[in-house]
Amino acid sequence: MAEYKIKDLENLTGIKSHTIRIWEKRYHILTPNRTDTKIRMYSDDELTHLLTVSMLNRNGIKISKIAELSQDDMNKLLWDIKVNKGPENSMDKLILALVSLDENLFKGTMNDLIEKFGLEKTFMDHLIPFLDRIGIMWLIGSINPSQEHFMSNLIRQKIISEIDKQPIPKAEKPSVMLYLPEHEWHEVSLLFYQFLLREKGIQTLYLGQSLPYKSLLESIDKLKPDAILSSWLTAVEEKFVVTYFKQLKKDRPKLKVFAGGAQIKSNSEALKGSIIQIQNITEIIDHLKES
């Protein structure tokens, strides 16, 4: 079972630590354990309960009233909010779906957001902040690998489902080959770039996770893309990243090479001249037009 400090609860729920303390003292919303040094520590159940309280409060129910409700009454009111399509509850719903491994809640929330905003805006305005929250939870050790894999795969499935609805761009359009290097398995951002490129009418050739370098070169020679695009998130040494792209520049000097992710950003200075760092989809399209 995970344990959270009060600052962790603030980061995950968006409720200020000062407010949590007031709710705790005045309304007995939470009953944390305390360490020998008097630091409050909260459980998964208390995080879930605080998310429930937060969602009820944001939907107009006063905290004094919530404190008087039985758990059954809270659950009934929460159900009404779960089926409410308002985007203002989306972050709480997604966090709640993660903590409770609730696939129905996750899919329902995502479907409502995509129906209202489309995948691009949903990803930028809702999923990226949510993934940032997951990153916080991962760093503080409050989610385990099964929860992270559960949520990542649901997001992956949803993006693939949206890509499947798109028309396949014509062969005469510029083509971009998307792949992950052989140490890399985190493909959510790469799939999202495929969606955005196809949305703009760019032909994509998606090779997926952990592609060996030799296979990359063979694929380039066979498919002849106008550019390649990769995402680097898993921690690797700077020397490995820089050597990889310098070798690629030497082996295929005329090819446009786009790359993004945390490892690219942290090594951007050393990679100048070897790659085009991804900033946004418009820049990729502008570079392709220059070909």
Cβ atoms of 170 and 203 within 8 Å: the answer is: yes
Q: pLDDT tens for residues 190-202?
A: 998 999 999 888 9
Q: Which residues of 237-276 are buried (b: 16+ CB within 10 A; e: fewer)?
A: eeeebeebbeebeeeeeeebbbbbbebbeebeeebeebbb
pTM for the full model? Answer: 0.69
Residues 77, 124, 134, CA angle at the centre, nearest 5°? 65
Whether the CB-CB separation of 220 and 177 falls below 8 Å is answered with yes
Taking the C-alpha atoms of residue 291 and residue 285, their distance in angstroms, rounded to an integer, is: 10
CATH code, residues 3-162:
1.10.1660.10
Rg from Cα positions in the chain: 23
Give the model confidence (pLDDT) of 4-40 as tens digits.
888 888 877 778 999 999 999 999 988 888 888 888 8
* Strand duo 3-4 + 40-43: pairing: antiparallel
Find residue 191's DSSP bridge partners: none
The listed CATH number (1.25.40.10, 3.30.70.100, 3.40.50.280, 3.40.50.2000) that belongs to domain 175-289: 3.40.50.280
The helix/strand count (H/E) of the chain reads as: 16, 8
Question: What Å distances lie between residue 134 and 13, 23, 99, 182, CA to CA?
Answer: 12, 25, 10, 24
Cα(199)–Cα(197) distance, integer angstroms: 5
Whether the Cβ atoms of residue 256 and residue 291 lie closer than 8 Å to each other: yes
Place of tokens 């409060």: 57
CA dist., res. 40 & res. 7, Å (int):
10
CA pair distance 231, 210, nearest whole angstrom? 11
Domain with CATH 1.10.1660.10 in the chain: 3-162
Residues of the chain with CATH 3.40.50.280: 175-289
Each of the 291 residues of the chain gets a pLDDT tens digit; together they read 567 888 888 877 778 999 999 999 999 988 888 888 888 888 878 888 888 888 788 778 899 998 888 877 887 777 666 555 555 678 878 888 887 888 998 888 888 898 889 888 888 888 888 877 776 666 556 667 788 888 888 989 999 999 999 998 887 778 999 999 998 888 888 998 999 999 888 999 999 999 999 999 999 999 999 999 999 888 788 889 999 999 999 999 999 999 988 788 888 888 988 899 887 777 788 887 776
CA 154 → CA 97, 133, 149, distances in Å?
11, 16, 8
33: left (phi over 0), alpha (psi -120 to 50) or beta: beta
Q: What b/e string do you get for 120-142 counting C-beta neighbours within 10 Å, with b at 16 or more?
A: eebbeebbeebbebbeebeebeb
